[in-house]
Amino acid sequence: MMPPVLRALWLSTAAIAAALALGACGTEGIEVAEDDPNYEGAVLFAERCSGCHTMKAAGAQGSANRELRNQGPNLDQRAESVEDVLYAIRNGGFSGAIMPQNIFVGDEAEAVAEFVSEYAGSEVDRPPAP
């Protein structure tokens, strides 16, 4: 028998690996049209961010039920500005504690930020804060 602490660690590692593997599923479920300027950002998001964040427009369900600490906020439920997304990408989320830093840099970071700011918050009534 594994000691309970090790067992819990093992289980959460397996769950994270599963979440990341799901995140790698690619472009299925993307709701942005291929000729949309935000399509590239949606694809990048689906490839690298969907393991931890839910966002319908990218077919991403990574927030799931947020029982795991590494599961990020559901971005359908939060409006984000381009600056905030760029900050989160550079800093590793707002806290800098859990989300990896610099998953994207340069043009790719811009493309993802444009996409997220355009499509995040689809389940929120109010517009993003200025």
Tokens 């989300």, residue? 99
Measured from the CB atom, the residue of 76 and 80 that comes closer to ligand HEC is 80
Query: Smallest Cα–Cα separation from 67: which of 17, 12, 121, 24?
Result: 12
Measured from the CB atom, the residue of 36 and 87 that comes closer to ligand HEC is 87
Minimum distance, C-beta of residue 129 to ligand HEC, in the bound complex (Å)? 11
Residue number with the shortest CB distance to ligand HEC?
93
Using CB under 6 A as the criterion, which residues of the chain lie in contact with ligand HEC when the complex forms? Answer: 45, 48-49, 51-53, 70, 72-73, 78, 80, 84-85, 88-89, 93-95, 97-100, 103-104, 112, 116
Task: Confirm if 22 and 84 have CB atoms less than 8 A apart.
Answer: no
